[in-house]
A and B are shown apart, each in its own frame.
Chain A
Amino acid sequence: MTERPTDRKLPGAVLAELLGASKTYGTGGTAVRAVEDVDLTVRAGELLAVLGPNGAGKTTALGMLTGLTAPTTGTARLFGKDPRDLAARQQMGVMLQSSGVPNTLRVRELLAAFRGYYPAPLPYASVVEAAGLHGLDDRLFGTLSGGQQRRVLFGIALCGDPELVFLDEPTTGLDAEVRRTLWATLRRLAAAGRGVVLTTHYLEEADALADRIVVLHQGRVIAAGTPSQIKSLVPGRRITAESSIGAEQASGWAGVHHAQRDGSRLELLVSEPETVLRELLHRDRSVAGVTVTEPTLEDAFLTLTHPTKEAA
């Protein structure tokens, strides 16, 4: 990354935001509310993860921030302007879940084209370096592996030396090693004072990477905060055990918020572990390998997206 201290935004400065933004596709009886009344703020030096299951409205939210789609009601701002404004767009980089990149163009040519769109692009060598494209310059896009193609798309997002980078599910389909390399690059970008926004449905990714998480579900923000704040929204503990008891049955017990099975293991989210442990040991004499731990982000997510019955 080259440093441009003169126009670097102060850490914490608002780079982009959605204010009460809603997006409806279609009209009348067939109208679909993709996003409803979403407030979202992106700050310099911050890595923001927009987390949600498929169809939660993540891509639509990103579309409104990047000016690909206009909010039906509410406001989207990018660097204080309409996201379709050229001056605003010149300062952002976007990595979409892109399809249709011409297979017959070389990596070098693709990067050259995108660098050309910006009046003050990042030097070519820096793009190659940051996106890990060494030795791929002269390869045709169509001959690259899936992971390599993702890296090219990431390089394209960096071409304009952006203050703010949007990435729509950047690590979907990447193997663990490539994913970690990308994470490291994203962390470096945020540490250098850039804003980074990524959508993901990997909880692990949001937990490991993000300074702040916004959880979207059915088009609404259902939680926002640091990973530990989100986790703290889940009261109680997580119990796992080797047990023959079905998830259905366990979910009926007092104090159990959520129950599911993972192979031979029963996994429970509970408010008071003692009560539930007593029940478990009583019902299943052969229970083994019992663990009681802090809830994970995944548990928080499950609790948030599947509102549970009140403990009796």
Chain B
Amino acid sequence: MTTTITTKPPVPAAAAPIRHTLRSALRVYRVEAWHEFLKIVRLPIFVVTTIALPLMFYVIFGITFAGEQAGGVGITTYMLVTYGAFGVIGAALFGFGVSVAVERGQGWMRLKRVAPMPPLAYFVAKVLMSLAVATIIVLAMFTLGALVGGVRLDPQQWLAAGLALVAGALPFSAMGLAFGYLVGPNSAPAVLNLAWLPMAFASGLWIPISQLPTAVQSIAVALPPYHFVQLALGTIGASEGGSPAVHAAAMSGFTVLFLFVARWGFRRDEGRTYG
């Protein structure tokens, strides 16, 4: 070493970043998403449980409330949407929340960060996975509803309800992401269940909101799943209150809030070393 601190860089800065071509940049995203998919295909327990749970609940509660009506439609039609929402939200929350909580503490994520992986590729891959799982859940639910629940809808209604439900994976991925940055890797599944299950109940995902105590109904307004499920019910004309615009605005607000929390968590992690 010659001198201690110099203002000029020690190596002539020939190092301008070699830019990825658009094609190689896209390939990073594609490979990242493909690998997320492979992880799930090769270790399918997570997906199997997230898909089986709403199907099972739909059958159980559909039988319990058989013959009744809610939101002006038959209960099996109504619950097809509410349990579809239950499945999509659960998958997004857990797919994002638990995996981010676990992975962010691991050397593997640090390694990818210095690699240098574009951080966005990691999140885009998870969002795509979340959408894919949501699609599978909705298709499975609709098949069950049509074959076993005797649900009959117009083709446009099937399509609108399906798209609305799948789109729900986006805001609730943001919510899962925020959770992932708030909770530790070991407590993530427990904390998420503790927050999610009561929230699902109070939002009217299990039992129609109109049949819940008024106290619970007033809480529901503050819960994201309530607004989401009312939007989805609206596509088949079974919404039980509130204008779609209000629900959509509430969902957007929640999503922005969750993304802010997640960004704060991501920044906090960057300034920290683990282990």
* A pairs with B: yes
Distance to closest chain A CB from B4 (angstroms): 7
Distance to closest chain A CB from B216 (angstroms): 40
Asked if A15 and B11 make an inter-chain contact with CB atoms under 8 angstroms apart, the answer reads yes
List chain A residues, Cβ under 8 A from B19: 119
Asked if A104 and B43 make an inter-chain contact with CB atoms under 8 angstroms apart, the answer reads yes
Chain B 3-20: CB-based contact to A (< 8 A → 1; otherwise 0): 011000111111111111
Closest residue on chain A to residue B34 by CB atoms: A109
Asked if A112 and B114 make an inter-chain contact with CB atoms under 8 angstroms apart, the answer reads no
Distance to closest chain A CB from B24 (angstroms): 6
* Residue B47 lies at the interface, judged by CB distance under 8 Å to chain A: no
A104-B43, A109-B38 given as contacts; is B109 within 8 A of A119 (CB)?
no
Asked if A105 and B35 make an inter-chain contact with CB atoms under 8 angstroms apart, the answer reads yes
Asked if A7 and B14 make an inter-chain contact with CB atoms under 8 angstroms apart, the answer reads yes
Stretch at the interface among B88-96, B100-108, B133-141, B237-245: B100-108
List chain A residues, Cβ under 8 A from B271: 69-70
Asked if B5 and A63 make an inter-chain contact with CB atoms under 8 angstroms apart, the answer reads no
* Residue B215 lies at the interface, judged by CB distance under 8 Å to chain A: no
Asked if B38 and A99 make an inter-chain contact with CB atoms under 8 angstroms apart, the answer reads no
* Residue A39 lies at the interface, judged by CB distance under 8 Å to chain B: yes
List chain B residues, Cβ under 8 A from A182: none
List chain B residues, Cβ under 8 A from A89: 114-116
Whole-angstrom CA separation of A20 from B17 in the bound complex: 27
List chain A residues, Cβ under 8 A from B5: 19-20, 75
* Residue A243 lies at the interface, judged by CB distance under 8 Å to chain B: no
A70-B271, A87-B16, A90-B116 given as contacts; is B108 within 8 A of A104 (CB)?
no
* Residue B111 lies at the interface, judged by CB distance under 8 Å to chain A: yes
Closest residue on chain A to residue B6 by CB atoms: A19
> Per a CB cutoff under 8 Å, which of A9, A60, A68, A80 touches B114?
A68
Distance to closest chain B CB from A210 (angstroms): 17
* Residue A92 lies at the interface, judged by CB distance under 8 Å to chain B: yes
Distance to closest chain B CB from A31 (angstroms): 14
* Residue A94 lies at the interface, judged by CB distance under 8 Å to chain B: yes
A68-B114, A77-B10 given as contacts; is B4 within 8 A of A100 (CB)?
no
- Interface footprint category on B: 35 or more
Whole-angstrom CA separation of A96 from B110 in the bound complex: 8
Whole-angstrom CA separation of A174 from B32 in the bound complex: 30
Asked if B108 and A86 make an inter-chain contact with CB atoms under 8 angstroms apart, the answer reads no
* Residue A17 lies at the interface, judged by CB distance under 8 Å to chain B: yes
A68-B273, A69-B272, A69-B273 given as contacts; is B28 within 8 A of A80 (CB)?
no
Asked if A109 and B35 make an inter-chain contact with CB atoms under 8 angstroms apart, the answer reads yes
* Residue A120 lies at the interface, judged by CB distance under 8 Å to chain B: yes
List chain B residues, Cβ under 8 A from A225: none
Asked if B15 and A91 make an inter-chain contact with CB atoms under 8 angstroms apart, the answer reads yes
Query: For residues 72 through 124 of chain B, which have their beta carbon under 8 Å from a beta carbon of chain A?
Result: 102-103, 106-118
Whole-angstrom CA separation of A85 from B11 in the bound complex: 15
Per DSSP, chain B at the interface is: loop
A17-B10, A104-B43 given as contacts; is B273 within 8 A of A87 (CB)?
no
Asked if A156 and B11 make an inter-chain contact with CB atoms under 8 angstroms apart, the answer reads no
Asked if B9 and A80 make an inter-chain contact with CB atoms under 8 angstroms apart, the answer reads yes
Closest residue on chain A to residue B21 by CB atoms: A119
Whole-angstrom CA separation of A57 from B208 in the bound complex: 58
Closest residue on chain B to residue A102 by CB atoms: B39
* Residue A13 lies at the interface, judged by CB distance under 8 Å to chain B: yes
Chain A 173-195: CB-based contact to B (< 8 A → 1; otherwise 0): 00000000000000000000000
Distance to closest chain B CB from A16 (angstroms): 9
Asked if A105 and B39 make an inter-chain contact with CB atoms under 8 angstroms apart, the answer reads yes
Chain A 60-71: CB-based contact to B (< 8 A → 1; otherwise 0): 100100111110
* Residue B31 lies at the interface, judged by CB distance under 8 Å to chain A: yes
Whole-angstrom CA separation of A24 from B15 in the bound complex: 30
Asked if B32 and A96 make an inter-chain contact with CB atoms under 8 angstroms apart, the answer reads no
Asked if A120 and B18 make an inter-chain contact with CB atoms under 8 angstroms apart, the answer reads yes
Asked if A39 and B103 make an inter-chain contact with CB atoms under 8 angstroms apart, the answer reads no
**Which of B20, B21, B28 has the largest count of A CB atoms less than 10 A from its CB?**
B20
> Per a CB cutoff under 8 Å, which of B1, B11, B31, B115 touches A13?
B11
List chain A residues, Cβ under 8 A from B24: 116, 119
Query: For residues 18 through 69 of chain A, which have their beta carbon under 8 Å from a beta carbon of chain B?
Result: 19-20, 25, 39, 41, 59-60, 63, 66-69
A69-B272, A99-B108 given as contacts; is B18 within 8 A of A119 (CB)?
yes
List chain A residues, Cβ under 8 A from B35: 102, 105, 109, 113
8 smallest beta-carbon distances between A and B, as pairs: A80-B9, A100-B106, A87-B17, A14-B10, A100-B108, A98-B107, A104-B42, A89-B116
Could you jot down 19 A-B contacts, CB within 8 Å?
A9-B11, A14-B11, A25-B273, A59-B273, A67-B114, A68-B113, A75-B5, A99-B106, A100-B102, A105-B35, A113-B31, A113-B35, A114-B115, A116-B24, A116-B27, A119-B18, A156-B115, A159-B115, A160-B115
